[in-house]
Structures are given as structure tokens and as C-alpha cells.
């Protein structure tokens, strides 16, 4: 497989991918380079609310409209650590700009800003991330474990979690329910 940079793309798990961390997942790739890749699973809400998460880190959300929103499972790596996918990128202590005005931040200052109403306009808060070693993502794609498509912000931030898989597949003109396990083989 030629060298492809998947930063800013969705990785969509193929039906044959049964790993419980990634089955039926849509992962937004935040960084991809020769050393590997890291991404955030965007369609796995957990039972934890943002209010509960903020209480754990001693930040009061009070009557903030996002208090009841779900914290998402971002992946199996550092699953006790918060990751905030957001727009606009802004200027936070520990942030990487991914593409356009989308960034990933891990510092507490962004959560304090969200709590007091001065945070980014659009956010997806996860615990953990997905990581791949050098060449691993390319090997998995060669085995048809994943499909990739350029990401759309509206799928990340404006689509209900339960609809994100179908929305990402629609970007490819495909229907997940109709995919066979041997897509890509003649």
C-alpha cells in the first residue's frame, strides 16, 4: 500500500472487525505519520455524563446545558484520561491542531472554559484514544479491517452517536448493513 496520510480521515470498522474496542466504530484520525497513528472513536457514548466527569475533576457545571451529555469512549489507550475534540481550535495548554479548525486538547484549562461557558463552540469529550504503531494501520487496512474516508465535521459534532456509523459510510456512498465481509476482493 502506498504511503497515505490518514490525518483528518475517518476509519470505519468493517463488519469482519470483531475486536470489542472497535467493532462498528468510527475513529477520527488525529495524527498519522511514519511512527504510527492516533485517533478518537467518535460513536461510542458511555454511561458517564459530562456532569459526573466534571465532578470527578472538581469543576462545577451547575446548570450548563451540556451537563447531561455523554462522555464518549475514545479508545483503549489511556482510558482514564480525558481528550477533547473541538472546534474552533483556540489556544489551550496542551493541544494539537488536526485539520482546519479542529483540534484535540488534553489539558484541564479547556474543561474549565467549557464549564464557565467560554469553551469551544463544538466539543466531543472522550476517555481514552486509539493508537497504532508504525505501519500497523496500513497493515490492518490491507487486510480490509477498515475503510477510510475524509472526515466531515458535521459527522463528528452534529450527528447523534447512533447515526455516526451510517453517516460516515454514506460519505463513501455505502450502507453498512449491506456490506459483505469480503469488500475489496475480486
81: which residues sit within 8 A by CB, 6+ positions away?
A: 106, 127, 128
100 inside domain: yes
pTM of this structure: 0.91
58 inside domain: yes
Domain region containing 134: 9-151+165-178
Task: Please name which of 3, 4, 2, 22 lies closest in space to residue 148, comparing C-alpha atoms.
Answer: 4
Write the DSSP symbol of residue 117: T
157 inside domain: no
139 inside domain: yes
1 inside domain: no
2 inside domain: no
Domain count, the chain: 1
Q: What is the CATH number of the domain that holds 73?
A: 3.40.1740.10
- Give tens-digit pLDDT for 28-79: 999 999 999 999 999 999 999 999 999 999 998 877 888 889 999 999 999 9
- Give tens-digit pLDDT for 109-160: 999 999 988 999 999 999 999 999 999 999 999 998 999 999 999 999 999 9
Write the DSSP symbol of residue 176: G
184 inside domain: no
Amino acid at each position: 500500500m502506498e504511503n497515505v496520510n490518514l490525518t483528518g480521515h475517518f476509519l470505519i470498522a468493517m463488519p469482519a472487525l470483531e475486536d470489542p474496542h472497535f467493532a462498528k466504530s468510527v475513529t477520527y484520525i488525529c495524527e498519522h505519520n511514519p511512527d504510527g497513528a492516533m485517533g478518537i472513536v467518535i460513536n461510542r457514548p458511555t454511561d458517564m455524563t459530562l456532569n459526573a466527569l466534571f465532578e470527578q475533576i472538581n469543576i462545577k457545571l451547575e446548570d450548563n446545558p451540556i451537563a447531561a451529555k455523554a462522555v464518549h469512549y475514545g479508545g483503549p489507550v489511556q482510558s482514564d484520561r480525558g481528550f477533547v475534540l473541538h472546534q474552533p481550535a483556540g489556544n489551550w495548554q496542551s493541544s494539537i491542531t488536526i485539520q482546519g479548525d479542529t483540534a484535540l486538547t488534553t489539558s484541564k484549562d479547556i474543561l474549565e472554559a467549557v464549564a464557565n461557558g467560554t469553551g469551544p463552540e463544538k466539543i466531543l469529550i472522550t476517555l481514552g484514544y486509539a493508537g497504532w504503531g508504525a505501519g500497523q494501520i496500513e497493515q490492518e487496512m490491507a487486510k480490509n479491517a477498515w475503510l477510510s474516508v475524509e472526515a466531515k465535521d458535521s459527522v463528528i459534532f452534529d450527528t447523534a452517536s447512533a447515526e455516526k456509523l451510517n453517516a460516515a459510510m454514506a460519505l463513501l456512498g455505502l450502507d453498512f448493513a449491506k456490506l459483505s465481509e469480503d469488500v475489496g476482493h475480486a
